[in-house]
Structure 1
């Protein structure tokens, strides 16, 4: 069983990826309910935390029922990273995760996220600064390298383990690929098979079905899988994968009622956490995903993304159930 510090994970854990503007407490709560074994906060700017930026501070909200949970930070300055790790420690997560994988330009430009892949020495210094300043286990999420010609994940894994990183999640793409093109897990398998590597290695990228999860588990020998985009609007994926691993069979697809319950809970928890107005507005981007593939749904979707009162939204949900359950 993979172990990170004192955290003992199940035999083959399924992790929920930290996703900007997605992996907030309401969404994490849903994924936990549907089988996610470990989760992470959205990534948090170390500079923002130190400046006391409200948005950054809000991302530190974690709850007991989410545990084990990691808080993910990013930044390009050693001092800021060390200070932000101390701030993170005050909310008592189970671990601190460092993002060396985000490919977004505004992050990379600051020499953070995947920008650090160009400078492994800097990556090591930033990580060391975090490890020194916290008692929590420190883990890292990164990519294969900057581009096809500079895949350096083997060196990165060894050097991070040598300074005390306790687990590594590898997104099987380069920074140049962003989220496009094919993810190549053979590089992750090579890291996992390196006799020098003893920390858990988790794979990330393109896992969107139970059979793909099983195929990659068997083929690449990793310690667990991190799921990101496939869980958006479809938190059932975690239990579906677990059921398939255990029985070789598929769980029934979520019914309209299941989808409505999930979307409704997500909305309720969003309003509780963000306040009614913001909770309603920020949920709008999720509805398309919850009801993907449902025929003749346009009219209902329009209601969900335009209504701005909670009660009217709950009525719209009830209407969806009654229309589709009777078909």
Structure 2
């Protein structure tokens, strides 16, 4: 049974990764319905919160049906991270997560995210101060190391556990790898084998099917799996993994009507949360993913990304339902 503090996540929880410009409340709504057990906000800049930047503040929006949910923070200054953790605590999430894994230059070159993998004492000190400043469980998401010569995650895991974190998620790549190549879960498995470790260890990276999720669960012994890119446009992956775990077979893929229903729910929430113009505009990047693999879908996709009103999008989605009503989809 995986537990983070007093949060009971069940036998093998499936987590939705915090993804910038993706893991907002509308996206989380469809993933929660799709079976995600624990979700996180997009990562939030500690400096943005302290400056009261509107975009950072909006990312603090959480809803009761999302629980359990964590707020993820990033930053390179210990004082700012502590203050931002206090601000995040006030909106009453279920936990605070610290991002020590983001590899992008805009983050790492400012001494935040994966950059802390180059300064483990600072990472430990920052984490310790955040643990002290909040009554909420604190968790960490990170990578194997900065590069192939500094895969120090075994040491990092012990030191972070020793100063009070309640769970650790590890992405099976280094910062230098970014998202290229294959994720290596070998060291994640070694963390689980360490008799000193007693907090939940979640693996992340390249899980894109129920079969792979179960294979990695059995091979590496992780307490749960975090899924990111594979859930974009396919929130059903969580329940498909659960079905495969229970029955040993992958369920049939969602029909067109179900894909349309999910896209519509996502759109409605997007408009509700962001307003008409921005809500419609930011949904455009999701249509390709919701209908990936559908034969000859390009004409509909073009119309969807050019539509400027809710009514226009709904009309097109209704046409999609009718046009593909008799098409059998494969997983």
TM-score by length of 2: 0.98
Q: Which residue pairs with 2:122 in the alignment? A: 122
Q: Which residue pairs with 1:8 in the alignment? A: 8
**Given the alignment of the two structures, is residue 205 of structure 1 paired with residue 217 of structure 2, yes or no?**
no
DSSP-derived class of the 1:131 partner? helix
Q: Which residue pairs with 2:228 in the alignment? A: 228
DSSP-derived class of the 2:149 partner? helix
- Consecutive aligned runs of 4 or more in structure 1 exceeding 4 Å deviation: none
C-alpha RMSD over aligned residues = 0.6
Aligned partners of 2:268, 2:244: CA distance in 1, in Å?
A: 30
Once the two structures are superposed, residues 7-52 of structure 1 have per-residue CA deviations (whole angstroms, 9 ceiling, x without a partner) of: 0111000000000000000100100001000000000000000000
Q: Which residue pairs with 1:85 in the alignment? A: 85
Q: How far apart are 1:253 and its partner, in Å?
A: 0.7
Once the two structures are superposed, residues 114-158 of structure 1 have per-residue CA deviations (whole angstroms, 9 ceiling, x without a partner) of: 000000001011111211111100000000000011100011001
Q: Which residue pairs with 1:149 in the alignment? A: 149
Once the two structures are superposed, residues 150-194 of structure 1 have per-residue CA deviations (whole angstroms, 9 ceiling, x without a partner) of: 100011001000100110000000000000101110100001111
**Given the alignment of the two structures, is residue 101 of structure 1 paired with residue 135 of structure 2, yes or no?**
no
DSSP-derived class of the 1:115 partner? helix
Q: Which residue pairs with 2:74 in the alignment? A: 74
TM-score by length of 1: 0.99
Q: Which residue pairs with 1:320 in the alignment? A: 320
Q: Which residue pairs with 2:241 in the alignment? A: 241
Aligned partners of 1:298, 1:110: CA distance in 2, in Å?
A: 40
Aligned partners of 2:292, 2:253: CA distance in 1, in Å?
A: 12
Aligned partners of 1:31, 1:326: CA distance in 2, in Å?
A: 26
DSSP-derived class of the 1:325 partner? coil
Aligned partners of 2:25, 2:182: CA distance in 1, in Å?
A: 30
Aligned partners of 1:65, 1:224: CA distance in 2, in Å?
A: 21
Q: How far apart are 1:326 and its partner, in Å?
A: 4.5
Unaligned runs of 5+ in 2: none
Q: Which residue pairs with 2:111 in the alignment? A: 111
Aligned partners of 1:291, 1:316: CA distance in 2, in Å?
A: 13
- Which residues of 2 match residues 1-327 of structure 1 at below 5 A? 1-326=1-326
DSSP-derived class of the 1:170 partner? strand
DSSP-derived class of the 2:170 partner? strand
Aligned partners of 1:221, 1:311: CA distance in 2, in Å?
A: 48
Q: How far apart are 1:2 and its partner, in Å?
A: 1.0
Once the two structures are superposed, residues 241-265 of structure 1 have per-residue CA deviations (whole angstroms, 9 ceiling, x without a partner) of: 0000000011111111111111111
Total equivalences in the alignment: 327
Q: How far apart are 1:274 and its partner, in Å?
A: 0.5
DSSP-derived class of the 1:98 partner? strand
